[in-house]
Amino acid sequence: MCMKLTKMTANSYYYYLVHAQEPAAAQERLLISENTNLLDAATICDWGNIEPKEQFHVLLRSGNEASSKQDCPDAVLGNFDYIYYSSNGNVACQSSVDQWEVCKDNRTMTFNYTTCSQRMAYSGHC
């Protein structure tokens, strides 16, 4: 697996996976190879297929979550309506007031659970 890591704070990084989606691995971004001599990034990474900016991942040092808060990326700043599908594929929540908001505080994602009580994200600070 190849990752592009960027330091945000002393206790947090964000990263992108640097490889094309692999159909044989359920579209995960990784290299499948029989070559046992893959020793450097040039042979493992596919820099032409880095993940889109909105598909970043975050690493946090345990116990430092609150001090590691950063501004949300531009791609998620705004108010969004969402639809929740249950594990069997049925629509479980679909209402114009099921909103995900990242405007009032651009470091906090807020979900309006007025008509849909299904938890949409987890945070140790909620």
Q: Do the Cβ atoms of 117 and 98 come closer than 8 Å? A: no
Segment 104-120 shows an average pLDDT of 79
Q: Enter the pTM of the model.
A: 0.52
126 has pLDDT over 50? no
Amino acid at the residue 56: F
